[in-house]
């Protein structure tokens, strides 16, 4: 009997087994059957498919055409569901083609003759079950991936620093020494206090190239710094895919949901260094090189005039102070945060002064004032120290330093005057009422932020010819 042989492996099967192995095993089993049944094999169709769609199975389509053209009397395959998978109408196409051509389906278990009514029922039933089984296979595939990860294998694309390799049947990773050296540098630099942007710049300058883009971005660097794969671990469930409207979107799961297991591949980065970097990443801007906590009193208010995005306050690597940066890369130049905040305060303070303060009891007022003034004194002392740091680290030029110092001295003198007035016997009676400037000098960044949010609706930031311009939009205009 002239017979065509159809071999098919689905990607879902047995991940630790290579495609060649499965297909060879199936082929041997089928050849055995052919010998036993004295079938004459006159064609072999072999494919690996991942989907349900008949039209994504070119060998199956070729087989159907040959069946229709009378190339054979029977088709030999492992089981019926190797033929029929997909929608009911596609199964209909397959079964009808076999039936019309009078071609039998032979499996090692039994022979189906579609012209025999009872057999046809059986076949349809089987294909129906095969369709049900597809759901199970999808589940099995997920399990297979999880099992491979549990065994320390690595299935995804190789991350920067590694290439794909195999250990026995288990897919794993092998370091590419040239790239691995860059990965180590990234971790070291970050642990030493460099920022992700600076590291990206350094890598690009060294000629390192990421896998799927032209140059390293700070996002790409951050993603590498967070990836436990570099410690020799395997992470599963780090990302999930959301399908919406035919498009697939990658979503990062929360780290608590990651499944981290020891991998078979060698580490590029020591665990202790990795942990150090994670700590710094978690408390971004708080640690490293003595940088203090940066809180933006204008948080949520300053927007980029070009793209409308919020300007983020970012710490400087190994330096005090910070800078404002539009989140959209390369959108507009960054600017010094301290200078920006001082300029904004200076501009907004007169407006703040126009807001009438609620009347208070004299005694309470005096106490509160003393508290405020002492707080202000502390704050000014802190500013003076920071000013020196800014000069020493080269953030401020000598001229800028002199200018800031002059302003600071004026503020200090005013404060000393206020404190003297407070200390005099007439304090609380003759002293000027609590001023907005006092309130501001004593406010924490969060308190200051609440204040500005009440007064200001937005601040647009624009850089022109090296100068930074702010356009303030007020929520309300206080009475003159």
Q: Are strands 259-262 and 233-236 parallel, antiparallel or unpaired?
A: antiparallel
Among positions 16-55, residues that touch Zn ion (CB under 5 A) are none
Instruction: Tell me the H-state helices in 360-430.
Output: 362-392, 398-423
Tell the residue number behind the tokens 């190789």, with chain if given. 158
Q: How far is CA 7 from the centre of its chain?
A: 41
Site string for Zn ion, 330-359 (x = CB under 5 A): -x----------------------------
Report the residue number, 295 or 331, with the smaller CB distance to Zn ion.
331
Nearer to Zn ion, 70 or 308 (CB): 308
Nearer to Zn ion, 276 or 326 (CB): 326
| Residue whose C-alpha is closest to residue 106's, from 80, 128, 71, 131 | 80
CA atoms 375, 380, 381, 387: torsion sign: positive
Nearest CA to 317 among 189, 230, 228, 448? Answer: 189
Least CB distance from residue 473 to Zn ion, whole Å?
17
Q: Which is nearer to Zn ion, 289 or 333 (CB)?
A: 333
Stretch of 292-300, 323-331, 351-359, 454-462 lying at the interface with Zn ion (CB under 5 A): 323-331
Count of CB atoms within 10 A of residue 246's CB? Answer: 5
Closest by Cα among 148, 125, 28 to 78: 28
By the 8 A CB rule, do 277 and 189 touch? no
Q: Least Å distance between CB 421 and Zn ion?
A: 47
CB nearer to Zn ion: give 307 or 446.
307
Q: Of residues 324, 326, 348, 459, which one binds Zn ion by CB under 5 A? A: 326
Structure tokens at 204: 């690009």
Could you tell me the sign of the dihedral formed by the alpha carbons of 114, 120, 122, 125, in that order? positive
Q: Are 259 and 149 in contact (CB under 8 A)?
A: yes
The residue among 330 and 356 lying less far from Zn ion, judged by its C-beta, is: 330
Give the number of other Cβ atoms within 10 Å of residue 285's Cβ. Answer: 17
Is the Cβ of residue 234 or residue 326 nearer to Zn ion in the bound state? 326
In the chain, % helix, strand, coil (3-state, to 5) comes to: 50, 20, 30
Nearer to Zn ion, 307 or 385 (CB): 307
- The nearest distance, CB 326 to Zn ion, in angstroms, is 3
Smallest gap from residue 313 Cβ to Zn ion (A): 15
Indicate whether 460 belongs to the interface with Zn ion (CB under 5 A). Answer: no
Instruction: Give CA–CA dist 186/196, Å, rounded.
Output: 8
Considering only 24, 35, 257, 328, the residue that binds Zn ion (CB under 5 A) is 328
- Kindly indicate which of the ranges 95-103, 126-134, 327-335, 355-363 contains the residues binding Zn ion, using the contact rule CB under 5 A: 327-335
How many binding residues for Zn ion (CB under 5 A)? 7
- Least separation, in Å, of the C-beta of 312 and Zn ion? 11
CB atoms within 10 A of CB 42: 14
Token pair 């794909």: residue: 164
Instruction: Find the shortest distance in angstroms from Cβ 308 to Zn ion.
Output: 7
80/325 with CB nearer Zn ion: 325
Query: Could you tell me the smallest distance in angstroms from the CB atom of residue 285 to Zn ion?
Result: 21
The pair of structure tokens assigned to 237 is 């469930």
Per CB under 5 A, the segment of 166-174, 253-261, 266-274, 326-334 that binds Zn ion is 326-334
- Considering only residues 293 to 322 of the shown chain, the ones binding Zn ion according to CB under 5 A are 304, 306-307, 309
Shortest distance in whole angstroms from residue 307 CB to Zn ion: 3
Could you count the other beta carbons within 10 Å of the beta carbon of residue 144?
A: 19
CA atoms within 13 A on the CB side of 87: 7
Q: Which of residues 237-276 bind Zn ion (CB under 5 A)?
A: none
Task: Please state the closest distance from residue 311 (CB atom) to Zn ion, in A.
Answer: 8
Q: Please report how close the Cβ of residue 327 comes to Zn ion at its closest, in angstroms.
A: 7
Q: Give me the residues that bind Zn ion (CB under 5 A), please.
A: 304, 306-307, 309, 326, 328, 331
């Amino acid at each position: 009997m002239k017979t065509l042989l159809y071999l098919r492996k689905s990607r879902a099967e047995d991940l630790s087994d290579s495609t060649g192995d499965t297909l060879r095993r199936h082929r041997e089993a089928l050849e055995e059957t052919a010998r036993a049944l004295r079938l004459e094999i006159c064609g072999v169709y072999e494919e690996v498919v991942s989907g349900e769609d008949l039209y994504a199975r070119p060998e199956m389509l070729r087989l159907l055409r040959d069946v229709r053209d009378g190339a054979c009397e029977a088709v030999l395959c492992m089981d019926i569901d190797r033929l029929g998978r997909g929608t009911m109408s596609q199964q209909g196409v397959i079964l009808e083609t076999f039936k019309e051509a009078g071609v039998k389906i032979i499996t090692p278990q039994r022979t189906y003759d579609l012209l025999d009514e009872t057999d046809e029922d059986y076949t349809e039933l089987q294909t129906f079950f095969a369709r049900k089984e597809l759901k199970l296979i999808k589940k099995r595939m997920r399990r297979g991936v999880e099992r491979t990860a549990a065994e320390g294998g690595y299935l995804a694309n190789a991350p920067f620093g590694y290439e794909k390799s195999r250990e026995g049947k288990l897919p794993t990773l092998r370091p590419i020494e040239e790239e691995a050296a860059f990965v180590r540098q990234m971790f070291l630099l970050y642990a030493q206090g460099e920022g992700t942007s600076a590291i990206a710049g350094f890598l690009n300058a060294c000629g390192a190239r990421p896998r799927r883009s032209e140059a390293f971005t700070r996002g790409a660097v951050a993603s590498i710094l967070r990836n436990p794969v570099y410690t020799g671990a395997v992470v599963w469930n780090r990302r999930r895919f959301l399908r919406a409207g035919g498009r697939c979107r990658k979503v990062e799961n929360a780290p608590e949901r990651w499944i981290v297991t020891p991998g078979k591949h060698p580490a590029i980065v020591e665990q202790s260094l990795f942990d150090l970097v994670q700590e710094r990443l978690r408390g971004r801007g708080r640690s490293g090189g003595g940088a203090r906590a940066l809180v933006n009193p204008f948080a949520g208010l300053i927007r980029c005039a070009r793209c409308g995005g919020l300007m983020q306050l970012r710490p400087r690597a190994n330096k005090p102070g910070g800078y404002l940066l539009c989140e959209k890369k390369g959108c507009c130049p960054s600017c010094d945060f301290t200078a920006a905040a001082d300029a904004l305060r200076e501009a907004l303070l007169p407006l703040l002064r126009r807001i009438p303060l609620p009347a208070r009891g004299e005694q309470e007022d005096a106490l509160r004032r003393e508290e405020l003034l002492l707080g202000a004194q502390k704050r000014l002392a802190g500013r003076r120290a920071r000013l020196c740091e800014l000069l020493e680290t080269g953030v401020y030029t000598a001229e800028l330093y002199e200018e800031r110092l002059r302003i600071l001295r004026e503020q200090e003198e005013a404060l000393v005057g206020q404190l003297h007035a407070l200390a005099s016997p007439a304090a609380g009676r003759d002293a000027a009422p609590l001023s907005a400037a006092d309130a501001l000098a004593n406010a924490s960044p969060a308190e200051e932020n609440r204040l500005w949010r009440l007064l200001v609706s937005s601040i647009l930031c624009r850089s022109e010819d090296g100068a930074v311009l702010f356009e303030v939009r007020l929520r309300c205009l206080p009475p003159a």
